[in-house]
Chains A and B, each alone.
Chain A
Amino acid sequence: MRAIAIHASQFGRHLELLAAMYRLRRRVFKDRLDWSVSVSGEFELDVYDTLGPTYLVLMAGVGEPVGSVRLLPTTGPTMLADTFPVLLGGTPAPHDERILESSRFCIDTSLIAEQAANRLNRATFILFAAMMEAASAARADSIVTVTDTRMERILRRARWPLRRIAAPQQVGSTMAVAGFLDMSEQTLHTMYEQADVNGPVLVPADLVSAAA
């Protein structure tokens, strides 16, 4: 298993992978979670996808991606500041080039049905490690995110605890919470150990096409 990083300047070259990721997001966020997101046909996209995102797409061998996450700079509009300011508890939203915002984290559980728990955990750990690698490649040292208390528990179990900004709030049908995910050599190595890998899990998209 490995994660591939794609930026807007590489969308054309990786059109199939990109389409597969938007498809995965539609299945998870519209069909399964029934979020109020924009969809067309099999795809899901929102306004934050227009702000220069980097996508991390998790692959298990060849075929469909099994997970993905979106990273955005916090120097422009963010989900936390512009869509969920209620989760800030009155504190100013982070706008800092050393902080990225992550969103649309998902693992497609239906594709990892066999050997259930173990593989699911491993996919989650690898995508977490990929987030840390991508953030440090962008010279960021922290990730801010809007999530829910269920995901917060997963993060705590993965030993990458969310540092809450304010108390959780009921948003629609979920208990939403915003917080920071701090990064260090130590958190990264802990994640590698849990994922049972020796080193980097993130592959730049351009190397993937060179190898193919």
Chain B
Amino acid sequence: MSPVECIFQEFIDAIQTATSADEFERVATRLTQRLGFQRFAYLRLTGETPMLISSYPKSWTSRYFQLGYQQLDPVVRRARAEHALFSWGGEASALAGNREQRRFFDEAMTFGIRSGITVPIRGGFGRMAAFTLATGDRDLHPERLVADGKDLIQLVGLHFHCYVAARLDVLSASKLIASELSQRERQCLAWTARGKTIADIAVLVQIAPRTVVFHLENARRKLGAASIAQCVAEALRRGLLS
């Protein structure tokens, strides 16, 4: 595999296991470094509350939202208007835009955000998001990377968006409601996870063995698992047994 192909495969392998915002941050941080950038930011603007997963300095991101910079930020404005990935920053943008926007770039630069590449994403039903790789390094020229790794970065941004949507909202929310385990189902699964047999569990929980089987079967169905072993693994992964 070429370096670009390796980076993409590594990213896909890692993101498939991410289930929390922290884990998504780690996956994207790793990718960012592999591509030679320093920071990343995934910003989703849907309705009232923006969603941010990023490795930008917290002092900058909290200031950003406090001052409502998402309205002013020329990168976000451009991401709203355009479909294709673009590079920004450096000398060119220090001179472009109005005074407020130039001051915004100056301020971002004091937090180590000098230039970058942004992938605009349209989510359907008017939703939008942007996935950005940024650097404070004067010698890194994002526009050159755009020429080589355009498809890679665009696919990474779009995959990140869909994985976040799948794991942190739509599907996980509906899945959790549909798959809420009962007390008994959790008990039986927890004992199974500790190596107990159905006969053991029947004694421990004081129910009939066939009732243990009944509860385990229900749990398996609720979690969409093909076997009890997969069901235990899935329940542990989702933190349902703790």
Binding site for B on A (CB under 8 A): 8-9, 11-13, 15-16, 18-19, 22, 35-43, 45-52, 75-77, 82, 95, 97
Pair B162/A50 contact, Cβ less than 8 Å: yes
Cβ of A82 to closest chain B Cβ, rounded Å: 6
Known: A41-B83, A49-B162. A11 touches B9 (CB 8 A): yes
Known: A8-B12, A38-B123. A95 touches B224 (CB 8 A): yes
Known: A36-B125, A39-B122. A45 touches B9 (CB 8 A): no
Please provide the chain B residues from 164 to 213 with a CB less than 8 Å away from any CB of chain A in the complex: 165-167, 170-171, 174-175
CB-CB under 8 A from A16, the residues of chain B are: 151
How far apart sit A19 and B159, CA to CA, in the bound complex (Å)?
12
How far apart sit A1 and B121, CA to CA, in the bound complex (Å)?
34
Pair B12/A38 contact, Cβ less than 8 Å: no
Among the interface residues A19, A37, A38, A40, which one has the most CB atoms of the partner chain B within 10 A? A40
Known: A11-B9, A82-B174. A38 touches B162 (CB 8 A): yes
State how many residues of chain B have any CB contact under 8 Å with chain A.
42
CB-CB under 8 A from A19, the residues of chain B are: 151, 155
Pair A75/B224 contact, Cβ less than 8 Å: yes
Pair B124/A43 contact, Cβ less than 8 Å: no
How far apart sit A165 and B174, CA to CA, in the bound complex (Å)?
22
Please provide the chain B residues from 83 to 118 with a CB less than 8 Å away from any CB of chain A in the complex: 83-85
CB-CB under 8 A from B8, the residues of chain A are: 11-12, 15
CB-CB under 8 A from A75, the residues of chain B are: 224-226
Our pick among B120, B152, B154, B224 for the contact of A76 (Cβ within 8 Å) is: B224
How far apart sit A43 and B6, CA to CA, in the bound complex (Å)?
20
Cβ of A34 to closest chain B Cβ, rounded Å: 11
Asked if B4 is at the interface (CB within 8 A of a chain A CB), the reply is: yes
Cβ of A180 to closest chain B Cβ, rounded Å: 19
Binding site for A on B (CB under 8 A): 1, 4-10, 12-13, 16, 83-85, 119-125, 151-152, 154-155, 157-159, 161-163, 165-167, 170-171, 174-175, 221, 224-226
Our pick among B125, B166, B175, B221 for the contact of A50 (Cβ within 8 Å) is: B166
| Closest partner residue, chain A, to B226 (CB atom) | A97
CB-CB under 8 A from B124, the residues of chain A are: 35-38
Our pick among A13, A22, A82 for the contact of B171 (Cβ within 8 Å) is: A82
Pair A13/B1 contact, Cβ less than 8 Å: yes
Cβ of B159 to closest chain A Cβ, rounded Å: 7
Can you add 11 more A-B contacts, CB < 8 Å, to A15-B5, A38-B165? A8-B12, A12-B12, A15-B152, A22-B155, A22-B158, A39-B122, A39-B158, A41-B119, A46-B162, A48-B166, A77-B171
Cβ of A21 to closest chain B Cβ, rounded Å: 11
Pair B122/A12 contact, Cβ less than 8 Å: no
Q: 9 A–B contact pairs at CB < 8 A?
A: A13-B9, A15-B152, A15-B155, A39-B122, A40-B121, A47-B165, A47-B166, A77-B174, A82-B170
Among the interface residues B1, B174, B224, which one has the most CB atoms of the partner chain A within 10 A? B224
Cβ of A22 to closest chain B Cβ, rounded Å: 7
What 8 A-B pairs come out closest when comparing CB atoms? A12-B9, A36-B124, A47-B166, A12-B5, A50-B166, A40-B158, A40-B121, A41-B84
CB-CB under 8 A from B9, the residues of chain A are: 9, 11-13
CB-CB under 8 A from A18, the residues of chain B are: 155
CB-CB under 8 A from A39, the residues of chain B are: 83, 121-122, 158
Cβ of B196 to closest chain A Cβ, rounded Å: 25
Pair A38/B161 contact, Cβ less than 8 Å: yes
How far apart sit A51 and B16, CA to CA, in the bound complex (Å)?
8
CB-CB under 8 A from A48, the residues of chain B are: 166
